[in-house]
Structure 1
Amino acid sequence: MEIGSDVRSPTLGFDQWAKLKSSPLGSISMKKKRQDKPIFRHGWANPNATRQSHCRSHNAEQAGACCLIVLDPSQRDISCMPDPSLIKEMKSIVSIPIMVSARVGHFVKAQILEAIRVDYIDESEAIALADEDNFINKHNFRCPFVCGCENHGEALSKVREGAAMIRIQGDLSGSENVTNTIKNMRIVMGQIRILNNLDEE
């Protein structure tokens, strides 16, 4: 379970970071290890760079990234998964796992992602819902799913649906306010401690 935060990479100098930050094109998100604590980092591409040089310019694997979340900058304002050709291209460039988001309940897109052999599928509420009442039956897939929760009840529900990994989430409006995420993390971890201390009966 991780908290998302936008941080400056220790592997980039100030000038390099400023150049990446000021570039107008959207990006790849990198989950990176630092001091044994995983974090999320958002990078910005050079508008003249190809996707391959973009990926290499981040030196994701050399910097300690353990997973890439693929986002398509051309679809920044559209709630859908990236172009499958982009996903395949990224998979051919890096050896670390690739994670791609799918709409809640959109099992067909999940089937597409599994067919192109992504390493993880994130059933994300941050993009538009395909089905408000039903989530994807993850037991029908061999590819592991990542799902978000705000309390232990939601976490257990996702596990029952077949999720392999749970992430604690907060504000989904895109405001980058992590207050709700921290609050929900404390709630979930507190509820887990209560369950651990209960008698077996």
Structure 2
Amino acid sequence: MGQSGPVEFEYFHGLTRLRYCELSGISKSTRRSFESFIGGLKLVETLDIHLLVNHPSLPDDIWNVKTLRHVKLWRYTPGPSSSADLRNLQTLTGLIFGSEVPQKIVEMQRFPFYQHLQSLSLRERSSFSNNKLSPEVGMFPIHVVELTLTNLQFRDDLLPVLEKLHYLRMLWLQGERENRKMSCSNGGFKP
């Protein structure tokens, strides 16, 4: 029976051609070697990372990897900057926003990759926020197939916006505090 302990990422620095990377349990003590390892993945297509609370974000270098297609973060973390070159990105799961949710979504709409995303998961940090969003057309990627919204509060009915997403097949609304009536128009959700 072997002992388990913190992973020393220095042992894996030669894996620069890695296409799929799934990691969990990154601790504070291995943060620096983790950042160096992730920064060296120049051909990675899929990142599936379970971050710990004391390691809140990915190194900025990862958002410049042009081959990146799928990013799944199981501890919500801040996302890429607007200068990130993510033209192939299809899945972005686990972005968290604080009190600046409307501003961040507006910023993301300007990202070149945003409208091509097929899977998107957004979360507000607190489920008790009074920060209500005004749903509007263009708020979510037009090609999105799977959409998860956690703790995001909306001023008005969200369905008139969502029903215009013709590719949407899976929708999860989590953390709604209010039992609000939502209604779909007769022509909504047509393929």
**Normalising by the residue count of structure 2, what TM-score does the alignment of the two structures yield?**
0.38
**In proportion to residue count, which structure has more helix?**
1
**Normalising by the residue count of structure 1, what TM-score does the alignment of the two structures yield?**
0.37
Greater relative CO, 1 or 2 (CA 8 Å, sep 6+): 1
